[in-house]
């Protein structure tokens, strides 16, 4: 049952749409605190390519910080940033569910509004809808995942179709990581991924706000952001992580830009730096199109193109739950 006087605001949108900036502005206006729903900003050292907000005090970026200890960015508490070590930790959606629930309770107890913000929509969906996910043996999962990653995507899809037709029909056929996830669940548990996703929604009122731009504007923002990454030294960031011992194979899990740059540094991708930038841009353009397709399937999302429209939605939602 919903707690009518308590609200969670989820801010979603395709990569590069400006969710972080909008979330900070809304949190300032509506006494909010932000929980990052991103499968990469949880990791220390993945800063430039994740557009991770910079902490006000660099001393906050400590190793093994408690998941309820926030980073303060522009006066706003941000949770679940830099809480995992990319060299040894595998942070899962189940971990996010557990940690986000704890932080939601903490924020509400202070009389503030939790804003769930990030680019990993499955994290947000799993949290809000309460997917009951299977506990995992991380060492065993890592071994299975490594074997699956060596297979061609078409082979993986063919196997998934045979064992779990329902998931095969719904899954993003271009997202190898999601296909591998569905197959590893089956190999570990012997159960179909589609059968594991029973739901127990969070007991709060939820407002989902989607931020979108025109397609051309979106592409331009991505291209400008990619240029900024290279100007700020993203190649050196990846090089530093590799030298620190983050396994090369892990960069496949850290997003398109990190995967391609790691391949470039290892000379598995034999192209020039300008060609690398262009390939990243094209890959992110394609990602945006796929993200928009998946987000449109969620009919609960209220789409906006400006901060003014987002503020109006928040005001209306707060008014409704208080009366």
Does 132 or 68 have the greater pLDDT score?
68
Where b means 16+ CB within 10 Å and e means fewer, 211-233 reads: bbbeeeebbebbbebbeebbeee
Query: Could you give phi then psi for residue 136, rounded to 5 degrees?
Result: -130, 145
How does the average pLDDT of the chain come out, rounded?
A: 88
pLDDT of 310 > 80? The answer is yes
Query: For residues 250 and 88, is the Cβ–Cβ distance under 8 A?
Result: no
Each residue of 60-85: pLDDT tens digit?
555 556 889 999 999 999 999 999 99
Span 80-109, mean pLDDT?
A: 93
Residue 99: predicted pLDDT = 96
The reported pLDDT for the residue numbered 4 is 55
CB 77 within 8 A of CB 70: yes
| pLDDT of 1 strictly over 50 | no
pLDDT tens per residue across span 141-166? 777 888 888 888 999 999 999 999 98
Answer whether residue 323 shows pLDDT above 90.
no
Residue 3's pLDDT band, with cuts at 50, 70 and 90, is: low
- C-alpha dist (Å) from residue 6 to 57, 107, 156, 239: 31, 11, 43, 45
Q: Domains plus CATH for the chain?
A: 3-133+197-214+290-321 (3.40.50.300), 138-195 (1.10.20.140), 215-289 (1.10.287.890)
Question: How much is the average pLDDT of 264-282?
Answer: 94
Radius of gyration of the chain (CA): 20
* Residue 136, pLDDT above cutoff 70: no
pLDDT of residue 46: 94
Q: pLDDT per residue over 219-249, tens digit each?
A: 999 999 999 999 999 999 999 999 999 999 8
What is the pLDDT at residue 58? 55
Start-to-end CA distance of the chain, whole Å, equals 17
b/e for 45-65, b at 16 or more Cβ within 10 A?
Answer: bbbbbbbbbebeeeebbeeeb
Quick one: pLDDT at residue 222? Answer: 94
Predicted confidence (pLDDT) at residue 307 exceeds the cutoff of 90: yes
CB–CB of 72/37 below 8 Å?
no
Q: Answer yes or no: is pLDDT of 53 > 80.
A: yes
pTM: 0.82
Digit-coded pLDDT (tens) for 190-211: 778 777 666 678 889 999 999 9
Give yes or no for a contact between 209 and 316, defined as CB atoms under 8 angstroms apart.
Answer: no
3-state secondary structure the chain: CCEEEEEEEEEECCCCCCHHHHHHHHHHHCCEEEEECCCCCCECCCCCCCCCCCCCCHHHCCCCCCCCCCEEECCEEEECCCCECCCCCCCCHHHHHHHHHHHHHHHHHCCCEEEEECCCHHHHHHHHHCECCCCCCHHHHHHHHHHHHCCCHHHHHHHHHHHCHHHHHHCCCCCHHHHHHHHHHHHHHCCCHHHHCCECCCCEEEEEEEECCCHHHHHHHHHHHHHHHHHHCHHHHHHHHHHCCCCHHHHHHCCHHHHHHHHHHCCCCCCCHHHHHHHHHHHHHHHHHHHHHHHHCCCCEEEECCHHHHHHHHHHHHHHHCC
**pLDDT at position 139, please?**
65
Q: Is the pLDDT of residue 92 over 50?
A: yes
pLDDT class of 56 with cuts at 50, 70, 90: low
Location of structure tokens 């969670």? 8
Mean pLDDT of 244-272: 92
Q: Which residue has the higher pLDDT, 278 or 194?
A: 278
Environment class of residue 245 by beta-carbon count within 10 Å: exposed (0-12), middle (13-18) or buried (19+)? exposed
pLDDT band at 54 (very low <50, low <70, confident <90, very high): confident
What percentage of residues in the chain have a pLDDT greater than 90? 58
């Amino acid at each position: 049952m919903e707690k009518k006087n308590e609200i969670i605001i989820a801010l979603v949108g395709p990569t590069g749409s400006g969710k972080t900036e909008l979330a900070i502005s809304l949190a300032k206006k509506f006494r909010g605190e932000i929980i990052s729903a991103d499968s990469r900003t949880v990791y220390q050292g993945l800063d430039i390519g994740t557009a991770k907000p910079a902490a006000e005090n660099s001393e906050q970026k400590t190793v093994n910080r408690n998941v309820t200890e926030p980073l303060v960015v522009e006066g706003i508490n941000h949770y679940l940033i830099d809480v995992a070590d990319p060299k040894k930790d595998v942070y899962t959606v189940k971990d996010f569910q557990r940690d986000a629930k704890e932080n939601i309770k903490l924020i509400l107890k202070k009389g503030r509004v939790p804003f769930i913000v990030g680019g990993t929509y499955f994290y947000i969906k799993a949290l809000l809808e309460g997917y009951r996910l299977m506990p995992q043996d991380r060492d065993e999962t890592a071994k299975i995942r490594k074997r699956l990653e060596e297979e061609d995507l078409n082979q993986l899809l063919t196997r998934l179709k045979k064992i779990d037709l329902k998931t095969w029909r719904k899954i993003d056929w271009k997202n190898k990581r999601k296909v591998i996830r569905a197959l590893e669940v089956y190999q570990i548990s012997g159960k179909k991924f589609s059968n594991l996703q029973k739901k127990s929604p969070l007991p709060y009122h939820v407002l989902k706000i989607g931020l979108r731009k025109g397609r051309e504007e979106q592409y331009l923002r991505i291209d400008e952001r990619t240029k900024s990454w290279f100007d700020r030294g993203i190649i050196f960031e990846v090089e530093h992580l590799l030298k620190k011992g983050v396994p090369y194979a892990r960069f496949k899990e850290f997003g398109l830009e990190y995967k391609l740059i790691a391949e470039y540094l290892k000379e598995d991708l034999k192209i020039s730096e300008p060609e690398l930038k262009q390939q990243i841009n094209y890959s992110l353009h394609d990602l945006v199109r796929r993200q928009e397709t998946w987000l449109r399937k969620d009919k609960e999302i209220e789409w906006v193109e400006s901060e003014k429209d987002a503020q109006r939605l928040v005001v209306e939602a707060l008014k409704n739950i208080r009366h």
